[in-house]
Amino acid sequence: MAYIPNTPIGTQIPAQMFTQFSDNFTELNTQYGSSGDHFEFTAAANNGKHKKSTYFAQAADPSTAATEAALYTKTLGALSELYMRRDSNGTIIQMTSRNPVVAAGLGASGQTFLPGGVEMKWGQLLVPGGGSASATFTLLGLTAFPNFGIIGFATAFNAPNQFNIVNVTQTAITIANSGGGAANCFWVALGA
């Protein structure tokens, strides 16, 4: 059985179209009522609501008119990623990340992606007293920032004011230690 659009047309008598009406409602219920994407239509509170939504990857970013936005997926590498496009063919915002790396434990290096394109990386670094050291992201198993580094933070539990950020680049964070001896610090870098 298949859905029959435009049923009834103006020249048909609805009373004689019972089978087509019934088939259409059965097909709609099959597609939308029991596919697992939607709440069952037995409770009024669930009408029009969904359990999940599934998107096919788009070949190109969809167009949007004024006062509408689009939520869609497209392929980035081998993965489907979620995107949003603002109204009037506006800004495209990537909502999910390419293969995030999550730290295995305290002091381990890691990275994550924030919707809108900002990336956050973190780790631990031994910095010599009175000197500086750099954490090169790719040497820690992380990726470089796609475009540039924005800002960084560094601290240690026992010496919170001892470390200063020298710079954050696309590929590394450099931290200075104003203390007299070598010390470990925990760092966070943001970039895009």
Q: Return the CATH number at 114.
A: 2.60.40.3940
Does residue 140 lie in a domain region?
yes
Q: The tokens 């939308």 sit on which residue?
A: 32
Does residue 100 lie in a domain region?
no
Claim to verify: residue 64 and residue 119 sit in the same structural domain: no
Q: What is the pLDDT of residue 109?
A: 86
Contacts of 51 (CB under 8 A, 6+ apart): 36, 37, 38, 39
Claim to verify: residue 131 and residue 82 sit in the same structural domain: no
Does residue 99 lie in a domain region?
no
Claim to verify: residue 115 and residue 85 sit in the same structural domain: no
Claim to verify: residue 187 and residue 170 sit in the same structural domain: yes
Claim to verify: residue 48 and residue 71 sit in the same structural domain: no
Claim to verify: residue 78 and residue 123 sit in the same structural domain: no
Report the alpha-carbon distance of residue 85 to residue 93 in Å, rounded.
6
Report the alpha-carbon distance of residue 110 to residue 101 in Å, rounded.
5
Claim to verify: residue 70 and residue 128 sit in the same structural domain: no
Instruction: Please give the residue range of the domain that contains residue 30.
Output: 1-52
Claim to verify: residue 124 and residue 65 sit in the same structural domain: no
End-to-end CA gap in the chain: 51
Q: How many CB atoms lie within 10 A of CB 172?
A: 22
Which of the residues in the chain have pLDDT under 50?
106
Q: What is the pLDDT of residue 116?
A: 74
Q: What is the pLDDT of residue 26?
A: 81
Strand ranges inside the chain, DSSP E: 57-58, 70-76, 79-85, 92-94, 110-114, 118-127, 132-136, 149-155, 163-168, 172-177, 183-191
Strand order in the sheet with 132-136: 132-136, 172-177, 163-168
Q: What's the one-letter identity of residue 192? A: A
Does residue 1 lie in a domain region?
yes
